[in-house]
Amino acid sequence: MAQTIFERLIDGEIPTEIVYQDDLVFAFRDINPKAPIHILIVPKKPIPRIAESTLDDQFLLGHLLLKAAHVAKVIGLEGTGYRLVINNGHDGGETVPHLHCHILGGRLMDWPPG
């Protein structure tokens, strides 16, 4: 299968501002931010979307969320709050088929989301 844009960022083929990475996850600035702070955190394993994750990914998915909270704290969002978003499939607004969690902050988020 062809590599996604996120795999190419993880591999260093395309430059990006890395916010955090470890053996399992990779966090970087969204190229088209929807909030003053907009970071994406992705598993290095190329799971296309949350619906295609399996029980084998249980630890990885927990790690992804814990590290999303860690990144939000390090970036200074803990006090004001932030939103984590995972889009799944067409109606969910997914455009890149590599599971990713949006970390959005720096402004008051609307509810319900558009």
Where do contacts with ligand AMP occur on this chain (CB under 6 A)?
5, 16, 28, 30-32, 40, 87, 93-96
55 versus 107: smaller Cβ distance to ligand AMP: 107
33 versus 55: smaller Cβ distance to ligand AMP: 33
* Beta carbon of residue 110, minimum distance to ligand AMP (angstroms, whole number): 16
56 versus 91: smaller Cβ distance to ligand AMP: 91
Instruction: Reply yes or no on whether 100 is catalytic.
Output: yes
Q: How far apart are CA 25 and CA 10, in angstroms?
A: 9
* Beta carbon of residue 82, minimum distance to ligand AMP (angstroms, whole number): 15
Q: Which residue in the list 38, 70, 100, 102 is annotated as catalytic?
A: 100
* Beta carbon of residue 43, minimum distance to ligand AMP (angstroms, whole number): 14
Name residue 42's beta-bridge partners. Answer: 26
Q: How far apart are CA 21 and CA 92, in angstroms?
A: 26
Residues carrying an active site annotation: 100
